[in-house]
Every structure is written in C-alpha cells, then in structure tokens.
Amino acid sequence: MPLDPYQPCPCGTDKKVKFCCGNDLIHDYNKIEELITGEQRLAALDQINRSLAQKPDRGCLYLLKAQVQIELRELDQARDSINELLKLMPNNPAGLGMLAVLEGAKGDPLEAVDTLQSALEASQGKLQPQVYNAIGFVGRSLAAQGILLGARGHLLFQTSVTGGKDQ
C-alpha cells in the first residue's frame, strides 16, 4: 500500500508523514517499498543509499535500510544503520525494537530483553510493528538459550497484546 502524507510515519514516531519525514520523501519511499516487495533488495538498498545521500536526516530511510540489511543477513551493517537512526531519534521505538532483534540474533537474548524493554517504554502505549515482532523474536531467542520462563513470558505477552488475534 503506497505511503500517503496523512498516514503515521513509518519511522516510528507518533506524527503523520507530512509532519515528520516530509512529503518530499513519499515518492522515494514508495519506490523503495516497491523494490522490496519485488524482492529486489540490492536495488532497494542502492535506492535507499541514494535517498540518504540527499536526505540524511530521515529516520524512515534508516529503518528501511536496516530492514533490508537484516533480510540480506548483513547484521553488522544493519546495526550501523540502526545506530544512525538512534542518533537522529534516540528513543525511537521501532529502531530499539530492531536493535533488540539484532541482539537476539547475535546470541545475546538478555541484552535483547533490556533493549526491548526500552522499546516498550518508548512506545508509550502505541506498539510499532517492529516492537511487536521484536517481542516474539526475543521470546524465541530466550527459548533457544534455554531460558524458558522468560521465553514463555515474552510469547504470552505478544499474544495478549493482540487479544490472541495475531497472524
């Protein structure tokens, strides 16, 4: 679905696109999303880098870049992109959620729990998709490390957030 100026900004703030990352980004963002949907991740990454060269202060571009890098299994580069996002927006819940996923993927679920907690606190009651996904990922990371009570708690919390209607 194409991004429009009156949707919530995908960078994870509570603002509309028009008042956050700006109307001038919508065309680039939609083009990048189209490339990602078409599974052209390298082309999407090139487009993101070109857009960031022109608009280096746009959080949603860093978020998209990290997403693509994670999908390409470029975890160190994804961490760099998330760090850039968090420099721009220090308490960005979506960025913190993605950072928690990276920490869990690197085999450090306890650090991921701390980062996820920060993401939840920064969410202020509005759960971003990245934070929701991070809850489940951290739960599975805890289970993989044999921390079953923590895993169960996270996975039950994830299910309870949607009233059992998550898909």
For the chain, the structural domain boundaries read 1-90, 106-167
pTM of the model: 0.86
107's tokens: 């085999």
Instruction: Determine the Cα–Cα distance for residues 25 and 148; give it in Å rounded to an integer.
Output: 43
111's tokens = 């650090």
Residue 42's contacts (CB-CB under 8 Å, 6 or more residues apart) are 72
The residues that bridge with 8 in the sheet, in sequence order, are 16
**Residue 80: HSE in the Cβ half-sphere, 13 Å Cα cutoff:** 5
pLDDT of residue 57: 87
Tens-level pLDDT at each residue, the chain (167 residues): 677 666 666 666 676 766 666 667 778 888 888 998 899 999 999 999 999 999 888 888 999 899 999 989 999 999 999 999 999 999 999 999 999 999 999 889 999 999 999 999 998 888 888 999 999 999 999 999 999 999 999 999 999 887 766 65
Structure tokens at 167: 């898909």
Backbone angles phi, psi at 162, to 5 degrees: -100, 5
